[in-house]
Structure 1
């Protein structure tokens, strides 16, 4: 079973990377619209059926299909996002996100893989008693979707998978 990626303070996007200035310079030659189309996103889980409240390992892979470096512009510091049934990070709690533009950089043909663990619960900013609460996902099918946070919402590279909670 895949293990979650341990993030360090200097790895704030979930990927171990060093700055490659040649890659950064060459990626500027590829227009943003082409870079968005060159990067594919796939999402999978370690199982298809989970018990109610059981953690789910979400396996995400990004791939640059071009043999040249690309830089995908994003609208915020969060380079990619995950949703469960359309709920960002399985919470309705407002999140502070740095709205400064960033870019997701790839070397030619590079694949980036991360395993993120969702605890199987939805966080509600206000429960029945007005206090924050965590609820296990209800029994039934749930869709887990992942996408890049690019400038064009209709053209965001992404993928989705479905799990069943019993």
Structure 2
């Protein structure tokens, strides 16, 4: 039986107990990639239900020409990381009455998939501003008429609406 003073236990007393052990063994230093782990083992239905999408505006009624401040939040409701596959590197989009990013001008977005990753219980917040105009050409923007408009946000997937990855709010523009 080894006695404590014959071992190195007394030398380790001042070591940080939360520091990773130093080792020459490559496997001892390898950590789990929880993002990849949850993507591989959590079913798509669970991953899509885990993400909560919210869109808000700073008020409900605006005067013509007044900027609309849009708040967007994506929240992982689960205590482990989640990664969702998206249809393009543009992970999410917003739209005004179905007009994506308030523009009718086609945008150059690569046609390849990407991933939208969330740490455990992570919230991702973004903001946009809409100047109550719709872009109709590279250099022309048309103001919108008074009325009701729907501002929607969705994760960029073909099945976003079916999977609950869409949120919308309504505003009114009044004289």
TM-score w.r.t. structure 2 length?
A: 0.74
Equivalent residue, structure 2, for 1:41: 53
Alignment of 1:106-125 (within 5 A): 106-125=118-137
Deviations 1:92-145 (Å, cap 9, x if unpaired)? Answer: 1111111210011011111111111122211113xxxxx852112210110000
Q: CA RMSD in A?
A: 1.7
TM-score w.r.t. structure 1 length?
A: 0.78
Equivalent residue, structure 2, for 1:141: 148
Equivalent residue, structure 2, for 1:50: 62
State the number of aligned residues. Answer: 141
Equivalent residue, structure 2, for 1:152: 159
Contact 1:78 1:149 in 2 (8 A): yes
Aligned match for 2:38, one of 27, 40, 45: 27
C-alpha distance in 1 between matches for 2:164 and 2:106: 22
Equivalent residue, structure 1, for 2:78: 66
Correspondence 1:163 to 2:171: yes
C-alpha distance in 2 between matches for 1:106 and 1:54: 34
Contact 1:72 1:150 in 2 (8 A): no
Other structure's SS at 1:26 match = helix
Deviation at 1:77, TM superposition (A): 0.7
